[in-house]
Each structure stands twice: as structure tokens, then as C-alpha cells.
């Protein structure tokens, strides 16, 4: 009978890890993937300016840039779907993440908005990136470092 206590504690630990711990690890992997995509595609040249005017007809209108732009849109849309699916299926974990200051649904909406705004420079694109950064708590230092490295190239 004295072995029953440790078995119950181990069972409860296993349940807690599978209910909260594993999804938390999945969230942080997904968060890392979002950050990777944002860093990778932040320097992609948009096709349009804010007023539906071609941004730069010569340099940015290459087939390679157009393919990269479409790839960025697809990647952001896919990440938005993954983040939204996580929010819809991992309620207990989302509560814990909300206590930690993360806003999963806002991140999903921001990623979907960014997928739609990647082709145009302007306030919408900036707003969506800021929404994602706030929802997933990417620090100002990370954003500053990224912007500095892009300006140097």
C-alpha cells in the first residue's frame, strides 16, 4: 500500500505534463517558427505602395522577388492556420499562456492580416507586424536588431 502514493503522484504529473506541458512546448516551437518567418521575409520587397501604385517597377518586379513574395504570403497564412488551430484546440494551455501575457488569437489574426498585406508597403503591413510582435511578446530589442541588420545590407 505504501507504493500507491508515488504512483498517484507520477500519474498526476504525467497527466499535467500531457495536458499543459506538451502543448506549451508546441506553442514555443510555433512561436519560434513565426519569428523565423518574420525575420526571413521582412526584407521581401512589396509590389505595391500604400495607394495601389507600383512600389518599384524595375528592381523589385523580378520573377524571383515575385516568387519570394508569394512564398511569404503562403508561409504567413500557414502559420496563421497553425496558430489558430492551436488556440481552438488547446484551451487549458491558452489560459496559462494568457496569464503569461501571450494573445494567441491576436497573433493568428495578425499573421493572416500580414499574409494579405505583404504585397503592399504601408500602415496595414506595419500594423499587422506590430500586432504579431505584441501578441507573441517579441521584445523591442529583437525588432531593433532586425531593423538595423536590414538597413546595413
Alpha-carbon 106 to chain mean position: 10
Share of the chain above pLDDT 90, in %: 50
Asked if 49 contacts 55 with a C-beta cutoff of 8 angstroms, the reply is yes
pLDDT surpassing 80 at residue 40: yes
Distance CA 76, CA 136 (A): 14
pLDDT surpassing 70 at residue 16: yes
State the average pLDDT over residues 28-36.
97
pLDDT surpassing 50 at residue 153: no
Question: How many domains, the chain?
Answer: 1
Q: What are phi and psi of 92, to 5 degrees?
A: -60, -40
pLDDT in tens, 90-122: 988 999 999 999 999 999 999 999 999 988 888
Amino acid at each position: 500500500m505504501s507504493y500507491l502514493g508515488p504512483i498517484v503522484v507520477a500519474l498526476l504529473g504525467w497527466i499535467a505534463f500531457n495536458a499543459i506541458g506538451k502543448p506549451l512546448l508546441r506553442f514555443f516551437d510555433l512561436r519560434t517558427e513565426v519569428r523565423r518567418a518574420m525575420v526571413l521575409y521582412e526584407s521581401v520587397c512589396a509590389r505595391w505602395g500604400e495607394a495601389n501604385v507600383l512600389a518599384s517597377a524595375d528592381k523589385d518586379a523580378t520573377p524571383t522577388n515575385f516568387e519570394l513574395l508569394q512564398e511569404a504570403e503562403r508561409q504567413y497564412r500557414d502559420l496563421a492556420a497553425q496558430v489558430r488551430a492551436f488556440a481552438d484546440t488547446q484551451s487549458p494551455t491558452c489560459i496559462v499562456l494568457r496569464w503569461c501575457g501571450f494573445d494567441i488569437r491576436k497573433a493568428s489574426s495578425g499573421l493572416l492580416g500580414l499574409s494579405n498585406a505583404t504585397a503592399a508597403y504601408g500602415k496595414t503591413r506595419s500594423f499587422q507586424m506590430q500586432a504579431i510582435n505584441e501578441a507573441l511578446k517579441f521584445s523591442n530589442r529583437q525588432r531593433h536588431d532586425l531593423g538595423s541588420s536590414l538597413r546595413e545590407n
